[in-house]
Chain A
Amino acid sequence: MTRFWTRLVVVLTVITGLNYIGWRWMASLNWEAWWIALPLVIAETYSLIDVMLFGMTVWRLKLRKAAPVAPADATVDVFITTYNEDLDMVMTTALAAQRIRHPHSTWILDDGARPELKALAEEHGLGYVTRSGDWTANVPRHAKAGNLNNALMVTHGEFLLILDADQIPEPDILEKTLGYFTNDKVALVQTPQYFSNVPASDPLGSQAPLFYGPIQQGKDGWNAAFFCGSNAILRREALMQLGLVGYVKETEKSIRRALAASRSAIRQARKSADVQAPLVAQVLDEVEAATVEAQRQLDDGQSLSELTYRVRRRVDSAVQTLVLADVEALQSDLEEISAMELAHVGDSGVPVVADDAVQRMSARDWSPLGALESVQAVLDALSVERNDEAQPVMPLATISVTEDMATAMRMHGMGWESVYHHEVLAYGLAPEDLQTMLTQRLRWAQGTIQVLLRENPLVQKGLKLGQRLMYFATMWTYLSGYAAVIYFAAPIIYLLLGILPVTSLSWDFFIRFIPFMVVNQILFAVAGRGIPTWRGQQYSLALFPTWIKACSTAARNVWFGRPLGFAVTPKNRQSGGPSWSLIQPQIVVAILLAVAAVVGIIRLATGLAEPLGTLVNVAWVIFDLVVMSILVRAVLYKGYEPAAEPAATERES
């Protein structure tokens, strides 16, 4: 029944929305003020698409019954990922994980490699993993994804329960979720992330009831439930398969790139001074012949390991032959000198070049090729060892700081299925101060945009249309920062300058706009079934500087290789007083809005502005200010006090 009403409201939202936005584009634009009229109608179109994607999500809302019985023989590794969190916190989680009822091994994945934690783990009989020796300073560490990938190589459970260091699991978390895997195609079961240190008023918007509710349930209906990094169970086989496919793809790409670059690298090397030596010139000829052959073999579909092996053998043996010739020349020179007795050569008679000299001088670092960096780079890339990474197989995606989303998307692309299990089975700790919260939101947004730019879901092979749109929907919401700026600017511009982006605020406007707005709000109420969504709506607008920063830094990162300025979200409250500086852009906007409202009223009083326009825009300003007022509470929030609100942890189930 709920489903019927939800779908009805979705249909109404789409009809009223298209009716309004269609009219806005066709008949309402004030072209004289195109510089605000056009951005505003684009922002409104953005919002309509956002709502339509939300409508599509909840269209297939999936309310699951309990999972089938967990297979008793399923083997499970429980991973607790940590970097710098309090040892107490890590151990509380680890010991709770140890008490999970289904048979399993518990592992602490300590990226901080802390000896104290190792000792504690041993004392309690917990597994303890740090990065292997392969993670040298020359390869990227890939943060949490790297930590998990490292652990996957030294454990062997069929399933993996992943927990952040603060996520204390219930003893029945596996019993309630493993049963889904009796369907061989299921690769992921995600449970909600719920925070126990958040008051009912949730000043920092930590709980995400809309996401861990209708949105995930809706995505689940499209077989696109997201992996959210923690409180999720994964099938090892699916992860390893991703790792293998990724390995093959990366290796092939690198070999193709190297072969494409080889011609110019060799040409360049021939021009350089070292090539005056005939030895080097001959080796270069041989390298060229080897790469041409490799290209031919690649086109013929020969295996990558074989063709790279042949290149290596051919180049190595050429180098060796030529070095040997050199050494022999040297040896005969020595013998000649000795025969002429022109020099005293020691007691042992004719000096002999050591046997292993050829070997040694042909080795990579001393080889005549060593000096020709561009050629050496081509030869290094013609390999199947993936030497630029700590391990050839990287099961968790490393293209984004939100490895979870990227990984799940690739799994879906390979035809695996996912499940969202709507029951809180682990209790975590949310940030207790604004700065930490902002860092966390920034990271999520950055990661999401990275995935959008690197592996745009709309064009990923293997994904169904619904899945593409489900991933795209989440990415789309993170573009809201730009729309927010326009929504703030429009009323300010009208109230200060009297410039209206629409031709007139008439009956035509209200009869289209108001039904859309009303139905829109009803949609959230119906889909949310009474859950509080207002806090989320506030933050999606109020954190506009964070969203904009995320988009711009992620774009710079993906397109120009700049660093993101990535930070691990601290799980402890940052000290210090209220930090108003964190919301400086919002304060500036709020002041501008307030000033604009006052000026607008004065203009109305002096007859410079008309009543209806002023009324609408002042109301708009008040709405914006109410939305942003949450930030004042957020700045002043002093952290969670459990005694004050005993009911808070009982909320939601």
Chain B
Amino acid sequence: MEFSYEAKDSYAEVKADGRLNMVSAPKLREFVTDVIAGGSNRIVVNLENTAFMDSSGLGALIGCLKAARQAGGDLRIAAVQPQVRMVLELTSMDKVLTAYPSAEQAFGND
């Protein structure tokens, strides 16, 4: 699991490459918390290279969403792979998070 982060015009893009599972989930939460503490509160988590996600990974995303909201911003997800989409639907988390086709589109309209 590898995390990286890149500041864009109106948001910060976080990439989570590999398997986002119970072991790496707490690390994602830490990573995003640090990005938020660094001053970016509009976060896009780009999941194009996230081959697998479990419920703990999704749980971490909610934790990150909460942190971004508390900082006055938002967190969005983009480029989800089929397995991740399945987990989103299984847990009905797709009702909470919209999965955008790409990171650029995530904050496209606001």
Contact = CB atoms under 8 A, between A and B. Distances in A.
Q: Do A and B bind each other?
A: yes
Contacts of A247: 62, 96
B74 A240 contact: no
B74 to A, nearest CB: 5
A392 interface: yes
A251 interface: yes
Interface string B8-20: 0000000000000
Contact of B55 (A154, A240, A251): A240
A245 B59 CA distance: 10
A384 B65 contact: yes
Interface of A: 153-154, 156-158, 236-237, 240-241, 243-245, 247-249, 251-252, 302-306, 309-310, 313, 383-386, 391-393
B66 A392 contact: yes
Can you list the 10 inter-chain pairs with the closest CB atoms, starting with the nearest? A240-B55, A244-B91, A303-B98, A156-B22, A241-B55, A385-B66, A248-B92, A393-B59, A304-B96, A309-B74
B98 A305 contact: yes
Contact of B91 (A157, A245, A252, A303): A245
Interface majority SS (helix, strand, loop, mixed), chain B? helix
27 contacts: A153-B26, A153-B59, A154-B26, A156-B22, A156-B23, A158-B22, A237-B56, A240-B54, A243-B55, A244-B55, A244-B58, A244-B59, A247-B62, A247-B96, A248-B92, A252-B95, A303-B94, A303-B95, A303-B96, A304-B96, A305-B74, A309-B69, A310-B110, A313-B110, A384-B96, A392-B62, A392-B66
Given A383-B69, A385-B70, A248 B55 contact: no
B51 interface: no
Contacts of B93: 244, 248
Contacts of B75: 305
Contact of A240 (B59, B76, B98): B59
Nearest to B99: A303
A313 B42 CA distance: 13
Contacts of B90: 241
Contacts of A386: 66
A310 B69 CA distance: 12
Contacts of B76: 305
Interface string B67-110: 00110001110000000000000111111111000000000001
Contacts of A156: 22-23, 25-26, 56
A383 B92 CA distance: 17
A156 B23 CA distance: 5
Nearest to B73: A309
Given A156-B22, A244-B93, A306 B69 contact: no
A396 to B, nearest CB: 13
Nearest to B96: A304
B95 A248 contact: yes
A305 B97 contact: yes
Indicate the member of B55, B63, B76, B92 with the most A CB atoms within 10 Å.
B55
Nearest to A252: B95
Contacts of B22: 156-158, 236-237, 240
Contacts of B110: 309-310, 313
A237 B54 contact: yes
A251 B70 CA distance: 16
A157 B23 CA distance: 8
Nearest to A386: B66
Contacts of A245: 91-92
Nearest to B22: A156
A542 B89 CA distance: 50
A243 B74 contact: no
Contacts of A249: 92
A253 to B, nearest CB: 12
Nearest to B70: A385
B12 to A, nearest CB: 16
B40 to A, nearest CB: 16
Given A384-B96, A392-B63, A393-B59, A248 B69 contact: no
A148 to B, nearest CB: 14
Given A154-B26, A156-B23, A236-B22, A305 B65 contact: yes
A306 B22 CA distance: 26
Given A245-B91, A392-B62, A237 B55 contact: yes
Contacts of B58: 240, 244
Taking each of A241, A252, A305, A393, which has the highest tally of chain B beta carbons within 10 Å of its own beta carbon? A305
A420 B56 CA distance: 26
Given A313-B110, A385-B70, A392-B62, A248 B91 contact: yes
